[in-house]
Structure 1
């Protein structure tokens, strides 16, 4: 797979035929018109595993979170998979003067943390999957705190949506966004030059057959989430050419150990 030297050509993908684009609507069209030229101008996208993303029907995709920049990488990747991404995001982003209106009108789903509206995002996500849409849930809930940027232990939302709807779960690993915008450094610093290579890879659907058809209890959700997070870590390992840790970083456990 050779990477194109023309920064305005299509992202480098894995040899898949060019499928018809989905109907995107006006506002999502605005997002594509803004994001795609930006990504092709300022980054070098290399995308693999598109064959693992179902072309139709409800899907839950679960990405790792390494930077505030990676939603651009993931949205572009899912669009190149010929799907329209519906990402769950912090409610504060939806209140921004211009960007907030665009992402709201483009069908993205706000998450109101620690409020009476927190359950609305879950209901909206379930409804979107049942309509046959491609819904993205960051299972870690925040940018990873793992020192090596591996996925952390996950929250149960993605597993619950998948088990309630019967939709497949697709792990999507990304790498390189942290070189453009580092997190937890104390200040925001964007580094676009020299152009950074951003990688994304869709793994095979997570096998949740052991949990389907059973009562959805907290224990079941936690076990299913562990399977999802392990699949995501393995997909990231394939992308990085490294072996993920045997035990994923648990921020709650780390805080307890620090306090002892």
Structure 2
């Protein structure tokens, strides 16, 4: 495998991270086709928040490959409990992934993430919080963590839409990897989401929710390009199992 670029020094991958990438990236390129677009929208060096739709257990490999091939080594937010699991926790810690303590009070839930952005790292978040449960497989109602991080830190928010990873490992229900025939992984990366209208509104719940929906709309736009079709004007809320009008969220 050719030497991979590192355009963002803040990511500073260690040997465990490099070993993982050196194994997964060539395998993904061999077994799938990459149809990636929008690398020019990745920002200059410094902290950045990559927000994406989540459709399959395989899409982190696709998104990670795109970022690494373009010089940014991603750091995912994962629940703190994973870091206590033997082997997996060791790998997560030594690959500089970011723990989220969901039991911590208020702002402390994302304390590690804020410090990582301050160090100039590339963070990846799925604002839906889980693989989409939407029967139509579009991005669901988002959680507010990404918007809060962006408003607190000023880090650029880069939206990504993906389509195709579900053909390898299914949607919400995981399947054994299907690699024949060779599938195409469609990924579109868009320009940074403009959240300037919400600056100073971090303590205003309505502003945070509106900023969250603006982020989800940007992910929708990239997912439309990846899927080649238009998103519905409603969004699935996994908490209620109902669809809600996007206009009511924004």
User: What TM-score does the superposition give when structure 1 sets the normalisation length?
Assistant: 0.84
Counterpart selection for 1:110 from 99, 124, 147: 99
Q: What is the SS of the residue equivalent to 1:62?
A: strand
CA distance in 2, matches of 1:59, 1:256: 31
Give how far 1:89 is off: 2.0
Structure with the bigger percentage of strand: 2
Partner of 2:134: 146
1:216 aligns to 2:203 (yes or no): yes
Q: CA deviation at 1:246?
A: 1.1
Count of paired positions = 242
- What is the aligned counterpart of 1:249 among 217, 233, 236? 236
Question: Would you identify which runs of 4 or more consecutive aligned residues in structure 1 move more than 6 Å?
Answer: none
Q: Secondary structure at the match of 2:241?
A: helix
Cα distance per residue 1:223-249 (max 9 Å; x no partner):
100100011001100121111111221
Q: Which residue of 2 aligns with 1:137?
A: 125
Could you tell me which runs of 5 or more consecutive residues in structure 1 were left unpaired when the two chains were aligned. Answer: 1-7, 11-17
Alpha carbons of structure 1 residues 256 and 53: separation in structure 2 relative to 1, 3 Å:
closer
In structure 2, do the counterparts of structure 1 residues 94 and 176 end up closer, same or farther at CA, with 3 Å as the change threshold?
farther
Q: How does 1:75-224 map to 2 (within 5 A)?
A: 75-113=64-102, 115-116=103-104, 122-185=110-173, 188-224=175-211
The equivalent position to 2:19 in structure 1, one of 30, 43, 51, is 30
SS across alignment from 2:123: strand
Q: CA deviation at 1:118?
A: 8.6
Sort the Cα spacing of 1:118 and 1:84 in 2 relative to 1 into closer, same or farther, 3 A. farther
